[in-house]
């Protein structure tokens, strides 16, 4: 069958039945940026906006088959990876990335839901670092994920976060975006780290609003802008702006606001 020439983002992740996070957010975001999507579903979950009730994992071979079918049938410009659920799925996804090294991947290292339920099985962090991260163009942890990935306490400040980020980058991949949404202060600052380059900071005003799926949104918006052939820095800048605007909209509409962000 002829390949569709329109650039696509291949979304690899879990379905959240509430629509607040996961592939529903990814598709919504990538479509809003004007890029098409194709899918590889890693898990089905039953969720409300404040609880994860049930999780069912896809067979790893089926995740790989979905990815290969999407990569063969479409012009996949970038791959956005979210919830991976198990070490076996991580290994299966990594094997497909190795077959398509020309397609850059953005990994949102989803470890747990905001409500505290693990979305990656215990012990799978090692597989994520060893097998998957070195194949990714960009990894986008928040401060909590960053600390868990390097096995440290939560960084106390930006300098501490940069040190942890540098430690993670030493695993051997191109770029790390540390998301500062969980920090405090009047600005929300994300820091882009690359080996042998000065950190680049992307800051917005911190909004007194909180919304589910912002991590999914940011990584998806970045992947969509990369698919439009923007540079990494421009894609991150556009992604951050996209999330800021969605948070602002949600604050104005009081829509999907779960809890007020800390007043600083």
- Which residues have a Cβ under 8 Å from the Cβ of 199 and sit 6 or more positions away? 162, 191, 192, 193
Is 58 a binder of ligand PLP (CB under 6 A)?
no
**Helix, strand counts (H, E) of the chain:** 8, 9
CB of 85 to ligand PLP, least distance (A): 9
Is 216 a binder of ligand PLP (CB under 6 A)?
yes
Is 94 a binder of ligand PLP (CB under 6 A)?
no
Is 16 a binder of ligand PLP (CB under 6 A)?
yes
Taking CB under 6 A as the binding criterion, the range among 8-16, 157-165, 169-177, 236-244 that sits at the site for ligand PLP is 8-16
Task: Specify whether the CB–CB gap between 96 and 71 falls below 8 A.
Answer: yes
DSSP state of 130: I
Task: Specify whether the CB–CB gap between 7 and 198 falls below 8 A.
Answer: no
For ligand PLP, the closer of residues 14 and 165 by Cβ is 14
* Lateral strand order in the sheet of 138-139: 51-57, 36-48, 4-16, 74-81, 105-107, 138-139, 176-178, 187-193, 200-205
Residue nearest to ligand PLP (CB): 22
Q: Select the residue interacting with ligand PLP from 70, 83, 97, 243 (CB under 6 A).
A: 83
Is 90 a binder of ligand PLP (CB under 6 A)?
no
CA dist 220 and 25 (Å) reads: 8
For ligand PLP, the closer of residues 105 and 110 by Cβ is 110
For ligand PLP, the closer of residues 45 and 74 by Cβ is 45
CA dist 89 and 110 (Å) reads: 13
- Judged by the rule CB under 6 A, the positions of this chain that interact with ligand PLP are 13-14, 16, 20-22, 45, 82-83, 110, 113-115, 119, 212-213, 215-216
């Amino acid at each position: 069958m002829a390949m569709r020439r329109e650039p696509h983002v291949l979304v690899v992740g879990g379905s959240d039945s509430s629509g607040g996070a996961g592939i529903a957010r990814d598709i919504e975001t990538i479509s809003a940026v004007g890029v098409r999507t194709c899918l590889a579903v890693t898990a089905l979950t039953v969720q409300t906006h404040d609880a994860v009730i049930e999780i069912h994992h896809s067979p790893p071979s089926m995740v790989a088959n979905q990815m290969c079918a999407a990569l063969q049938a479409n012009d996949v410009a970038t791959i956005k990876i979210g919830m991976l659920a198990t070490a076996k799925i991580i290994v299966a996804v990594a094997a497909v990335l190795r077959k398509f090294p020309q397609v850059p991947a953005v990994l949102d290292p989803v470890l747990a839901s905001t409500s505290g339920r693990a979305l990656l099985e215990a012990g799978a962090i090692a597989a994520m670092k060893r097998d998957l991260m070195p194949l990714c163009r960009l990894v986008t942890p928040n401060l909590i994920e960053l600390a868990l990935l390097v096995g440290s306490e939560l960084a106390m400040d930006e300098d501490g976060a940069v040190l942890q980020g540098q430690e993670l980058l030493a695993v051997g991949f191109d770029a790390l975006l540390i998301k500062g949404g969980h920090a405090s202060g009047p600005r929300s600052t994300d820091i882009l780290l690359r080996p042998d380059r000065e950190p680049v900071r992307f800051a917005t005003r911190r909004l007194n609003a909180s919304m589910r799926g912002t991590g999914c949104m940011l990584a998806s918006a970045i992947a969509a802008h990369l698919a439009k052939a923007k540079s990494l820095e421009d894609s991150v800048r556009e992604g951050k702006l996209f999330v800021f605007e969605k948070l602002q909209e949600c604050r104005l509409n009081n829509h999907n606001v779960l809890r007020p962000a800390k007043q600083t």
